C-alpha cells in the first residue's frame, strides 16, 4: 500500500535536505546548484520544476540535458519518479524512450518540454518560457539563446551541474569574483569552503556529497584517496575549479587587478609591446616599470573585447596614428616617452607584399614597415615554456590568512579588459587524446593567447627601470 502511494503521490514523501531547502525557498530568478556526485542536485531541481508547474496553470518549462540519452535516463526518469500521476493529462512514459514527443502536459495546462544540447542552438529559438532547467552546463551560445526566451515572462534559469570541465567561459563569466554568503568547514579537505555564493544577483548553492544521508560516507572517504584536491572540490563539494589546464593559476582579479589611479605615476619607464596580425586586430599593450622593479600594464589596444572583433582593416599608417595618439596621452600622465618597443618575432618579420613599390622594394615586413614610419621595434623572445615560467614568477604572491605578505611584481589596471580576460582564461588544449590516451605534449588554446603573448615578450626582454630619460619629443618623420 505504501509502495503504491509513493508511486502515485511521490511528492508527499519527498524531504528536502537543508541545502536543498535553501535552494527551494530562494526567490531568485537565476539560481544554480553546483553539486558533488550523488549530492541530490538533479532530484532537487526535478521536484522544484514539478512544483512550479503544479502551483500555477499554463506554465511553460524546458528541461534540457546534454544529449537525448541523458534526457531520458536522467531528467525524464527523475521527473517521472517524482510526478503525481493523477496530474498528467498527456505524457505516456517508458524507461527506454522517455515521454512521448519529449513533452509532459499537466491537467492545469502547464507543460514541460524536454530538450538537449545536441539539438543545437536553433532548437532554442522562437518560444517564450517561464523557466529553463539545464542539467549540466550548456554551451555558451545555447545559454545566451535561452536567456532571450525568458525575457517576456520574466522566467527562471536554473543550472544543476558537477563542474568537471573546469572553469569554462560560461562558468568564468557567471561565477568568477563571486561573493560568498555562507561557508562551512569541509572535513575531507580541512578547509572552509563556500556553500552559498552570489554574483550580479545570481545565486549558487553548493550541495555536498558528504551531506547525503543515503550514501555510505565511509565509502566516499575511501574513494577520494585517488583524487586531487581540485577533483575533490568539484566531485564532492560541487565547487567549480579549473581542471582544464589553466596556464596562469596564480592570476587573481582580487590581487593583480587594480584601479588605474593606484598605478605608479613617477619613476617609471614605459614599454610598448605589439603582436600584429593580418586577419584580426593588432594586439598591443603599454607597460610601465617602476624603480622598485614592479610593472603595471596601464593601457592596451583595442579597448574593447578583442575576441568579439573578427577583423580589422586598418593600414600601417592608421595603426601608427593610433600608437602616437595613445602615447601622447600616456606621456601626459607619466611624463615619459616609450623607452623600448617589442614585437612578436614571428609575424613581425613575416614577408608581406606591398601594393606599390617603396624604395624599389615590392616586399617588406611589419617590422620594416613600422620602422619606415618612425617606430623601431626589437624582436621579442618567443620561448613559450620559459616565458610562461617568467610570467608566473612575476604574478606570484603569498598570503597569510587574508593578508598578502608577498606582493606580486606585475599588476594590471582595470581599464585593460583584454589583458585581464586573457590572463584569467589562457589554457592548454585537452591533455586527453581522442583514444583516451594522455598526450606527451599539449599545445595552448589560441582564443586567449594574444595578450598573454605580449606579457611573455615583455618579461622575457629583461625589462628594467631606466632613470634620467628625456621627456617626450615627437619624431618628425617623412612618410611616403
Measured distance CA(475)–CA(178) in Å, rounded: 47
What is the separation, in whole angstroms, between the first and last Cα of the chain?
94
What is the per-residue pLDDT for 129? 96
| The listed CATH number (3.90.260.10, 3.30.870.10, 3.40.50.300, 3.90.550.10) that belongs to domain 2-235 | 3.40.50.300
What is the per-residue pLDDT for 177? 65
Answer whether 317's CB lies under 8 Å from 375's CB. no
Fold classification of 253-460 is Nucleotidyltransferase; domain 5 (3.30.420)
What is the per-residue pLDDT for 247? 84
Q: pLDDT tens across 216-269, in order?
A: 888 888 888 878 888 888 889 988 875 446 788 788 888 899 999 999 999 999
Domain boundaries defined on the chain? 2-235, 253-460
Measured distance CA(341)–CA(377) in Å, rounded: 5
Q: Which residues of the chain have pLDDT under 50?
A: 243-244, 355-358, 430-440, 471-480
Ramachandran angles phi, psi of 133, nearest 5°: -115, 110
What is the per-residue pLDDT for 480? 35
What is the per-residue pLDDT for 434? 41
What is the per-residue pLDDT for 298? 98
Mean of pLDDT over the chain: 87
Please tell me if the domain spanning 2-235 has the same topology as the one spanning 253-460: no
Helix, strand, or coil (residue 10): helix
Q: What is the pTM of this model?
A: 0.60
What is the per-residue pLDDT for 354? 52
Which residues does 33 contact at the CB level (< 8 Å), separation at least 6? 23, 41, 44, 45, 158, 159, 160, 161, 205, 207, 238
Answer whether 63's CB lies under 8 Å from 75's CB. yes
Amino acid at each position: 500500500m505504501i509502495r503504491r502511494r509513493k508511486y502515485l503521490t511521490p511528492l508527499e514523501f519527498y524531504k528536502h535536505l537543508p541545502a536543498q531547502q535553501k535552494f527551494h525557498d530562494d526567490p531568485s530568478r537565476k539560481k544554480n546548484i553546483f553539486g558533488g556526485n550523488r549530492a541530490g542536485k538533479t532530484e532537487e531541481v526535478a521536484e522544484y520544476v514539478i512544483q512550479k508547474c503544479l502551483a500555477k496553470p499554463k506554465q511553460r518549462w524546458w528541461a534540457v540535458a546534454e544529449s537525448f540519452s541523458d534526457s531520458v535516463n536522467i531528467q525524464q526518469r527523475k521527473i517521472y519518479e517524482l510526478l503525481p500521476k493523477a496530474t498528467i493529462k498527456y505524457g505516456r512514459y517508458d524507461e527506454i524512450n522517455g515521454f512521448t514527443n519529449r513533452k509532459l502536459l499537466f491537467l492545469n495546462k502547464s507543460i514541460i518540454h524536454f530538450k538537449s544540447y545536441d539539438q543545437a542552438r536553433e532548437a532554442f529559438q522562437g518560444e517564450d518560457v517561464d523557466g529553463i532547467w539545464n542539467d549540466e552546463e550548456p554551451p555558451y551560445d545555447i545559454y545566451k539563446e535561452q536567456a532571450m526566451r525568458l525575457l517576456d515572462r520574466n522566467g527562471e534559469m536554473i543550472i544543476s551541474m558537477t563542474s568537471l570541465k573546469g572553469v569554462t567561459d560560461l562558468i568564468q563569466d557567471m561565477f568568477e569574483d563571486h561573493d560568498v554568503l555562507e561557508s562551512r568547514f569541509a572535513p575531507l579537505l580541512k578547509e572552509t569552503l563556500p556553500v552559498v555564493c552570489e554574483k550580479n544577483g545570481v545565486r549558487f548553492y553548493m550541495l555536498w556529497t558528504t551531506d547525503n544521508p543515503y550514501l555510505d560516507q565511509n565509502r566516499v572517504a575511501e574513494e577520494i584517496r585517488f583524487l586531487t584536491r581540485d577533483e575533490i572540490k568539484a566531485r564532492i563539494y560541487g565547487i567549480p575549479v579549473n581542471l582544464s589546464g589553466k596556464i596562469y593559476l596564480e592570476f587573481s582579479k582580487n590581487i593583480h587587478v587594480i584601479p588605474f589611479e593606484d598605478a605608479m605615476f613617477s619613476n617609471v619607464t614605459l614599454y610598448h609591446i605589439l603582436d600584429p596580425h593580418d586577419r584580426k586586430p593588432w594586439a598591443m599593450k603599454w607597460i610601465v616599470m617602476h624603480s622598485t622593479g614592479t610593472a603595471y600594464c596601464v593601457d592596451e589596444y583595442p579597448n574593447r573585447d578583442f575576441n568579439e572583433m573578427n577583423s580589422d582593416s586598418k593600414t600601417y599608417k592608421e595603426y601608427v596614428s593610433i600608437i602616437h595618439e595613445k602615447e601622447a596621452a600616456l606621456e601626459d600622465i607619466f611624463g615619459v616617452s616609450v623607452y623600448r618597443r617589442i614585437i612578436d618575432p614571428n609575424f613581425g618579420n613575416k614577408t608581406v607584399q606591398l601594393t606599390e613599390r617603396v624604395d624599389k622594394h615590392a616586399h617588406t615586413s611589419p617590422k620594416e614597415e613600422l620602422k619606415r614610419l618612425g617606430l623601431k621595434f626589437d624582436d621579442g623572445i618567443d620561448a613559450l615554456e620559459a616565458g610562461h615560467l617568467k610570467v608566473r614568477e612575476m604574478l606570484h604572491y603569498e598570503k597569510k590568512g587574508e593578508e598578502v605578505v608577498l606582493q606580486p611584481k606585475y599588476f594590471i589596471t582595470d581599464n585593460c579588459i583584454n589583458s585581464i580576460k586573457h590572463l584569467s582564461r589562457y589554457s592548454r588544449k585537452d591533455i586527453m587524446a581522442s583514444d583516451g590516451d594522455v598526450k606527451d605534449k599539449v599545445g595552448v588554446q589560441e582564443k586567449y593567447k594574444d595578450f598573454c603573448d605580449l606579457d611573455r615578450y615583455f618579461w622575457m626582454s629583461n625589462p628594467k627601470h631606466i632613470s634620467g630619460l628625456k621627456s617626450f619629443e615627437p619624431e618628425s618623420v617623412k612618410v611616403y
